[in-house]
Amino acid sequence: MNTQTSSADGLRERFRFDLSPKQLKTDTLSGLTVALALVPEAVAFAFVAQVHPLVGLYAAFIVGLITAVLGGRPGMISGATGALAVVMISLVVTHGVEYLFATVILMGIFQILAGVLRWGKFIRMVPHPVMLGFVNGLAIVIGLAQLSQFKVKDASGSLVWMTGTPLYIMLGLVVVTMGIIWLAPKVTKAIPAPLLAIVAVSLIVIGFNLDIPRVGDMAQIAGGLPEFHIPMVPINLETLQIIIPYAAILAAVGLIESLLTLNLVAEMTDTHGGASKECVAQGTANIVTGFFGGMGGCAMIGQSMINVKSGGRTRWSGISAALFLLAFILFASGLIEQIPLAALVGVMFMVVIGTFAWRSLQIMTKIPRHDAFVILLVTAVTVYSDLAVAVIVGVIVSALVFAWQAAKRIDVSVSTEEHGWKVYELRGPLFFGSIASFNEQFDPKSDPEDVVIEFMGARVWDHSALQAIDSLATKYEEQGKKLHLRHLSTDCKNLLQKADKFVEVSVIEDPHYEVAVDYAEMFGKKPVPQPQS
Q: What percent of the chain has pLDDT over 90?
A: 47
Are residues 444 and 416 part of one domain?
yes
In a domain, 317, yes or no: yes
Mean pLDDT, residues 4-30: 66
Q: Is there a contact between 215 and 338 (Cβ–Cβ < 8 Å)?
A: yes
The pTM assigned to this predicted structure is: 0.77
**Domain end residue (candidates: 286, 321, 338):** 338
In a domain, 351, yes or no: no
- Work out the pLDDT band at 477, boundaries 50, 70, 90: confident
Mean pLDDT, residues 157-167: 90
Are residues 455 and 489 part of one domain?
yes
Pairing of strands 514-518, 508-510: antiparallel
E strands within 140-270? 151-153, 159-161
Cβ atoms < 10 Å from Cβ of 280: 21
Share the mean pLDDT of the chain: 85
Statement: residue 19 has pLDDT above 70: no
In a domain, 203, yes or no: no
In a domain, 201, yes or no: no
Q: Which amino acid is at 247?
A: A
Are residues 298 and 379 part of one domain?
no
Residue 384, judged by CB atoms within 10 A of its CB (0-12, 13-18, 19+), counts as exposed
Are residues 144 and 32 part of one domain?
yes
Statement: residue 112 has pLDDT above 60: yes
* β-sheet bridge partners, residue 515: 509
Specify the pLDDT at position 492: 66
Are residues 471 and 331 part of one domain?
no
**Distances, alpha carbon 469 to alpha carbons 52, 294, 461, 472, 506, in Å:** 63, 57, 12, 5, 12
Mean pLDDT, residues 328-351: 93
- Work out the pLDDT band at 87, boundaries 50, 70, 90: confident
Are residues 137 and 64 part of one domain?
yes
Specify the pLDDT at position 496: 63
Rounded-to-integer distance, Cα 294 and Cα 60, Å: 8
Are residues 236 and 105 part of one domain?
yes
Are residues 391 and 505 part of one domain?
no
Largest CA distance in the chain: 99
Range of the domain at 385: 369-401
Nearest in space to 34 (alpha carbons), one of 282, 328, 332: 328
Domain count, the chain: 3
Angle (CA) 309 294 112, round 5°: 75
pLDDT tens by residue, 38-50? 998 898 889 888 8
Statement: residue 212 has pLDDT above 80: yes
- Rounded to the nearest 10 degrees, the angle between the axes of helix 97-116 and helix 237-269 is 60
pLDDT tens by residue, 356-388? 989 999 889 888 999 999 999 999 998 888 777
In a domain, 180, yes or no: no
Are residues 223 and 274 part of one domain?
yes
